[in-house]
Amino acid sequence: MLYYAVVFFIIALVAGFFGFFGIAGTAASIGKVLFFIFLVLFVLSLVTGRKPRL
């Protein structure tokens, strides 16, 4: 998921460089959403991760 967020941010940078600001804004928004989903899933996996057996 983090990989896709980085890919969308790179697409946004390239599109912004070439002047496609609509595509750049959309790609940046998608990248931001994917990054926050990654953060939520990462924190959940840390909290509910493996517990030592008793």
User: Does residue 54 lie within any of the structural domains?
Assistant: no
Distance CA 39, CA 10 (A): 19
pLDDT above 80 (res 52)? no
pLDDT band at 49 (very low <50, low <70, confident <90, very high): confident
Please tell me the predicted confidence (pLDDT) of residue 50: 76
User: Does residue 52 lie within any of the structural domains?
Assistant: no
Whole-number mean pLDDT of the chain?
A: 91
DSSP of 20-43: -HHHHHHHHHHHHHHHHHHHHHHH
Domain with 34, as residue range(s), is 2-47
Query: Number of folded domains in the chain?
Result: 1
* Residue 18 DSSP SS3: coil
pLDDT above 80 (res 54)? no
Distance CA 53, CA 1 (A): 30
pLDDT above 80 (res 53)? no
pLDDT above 90 (res 24)? yes
User: Does residue 29 lie within any of the structural domains?
Assistant: yes
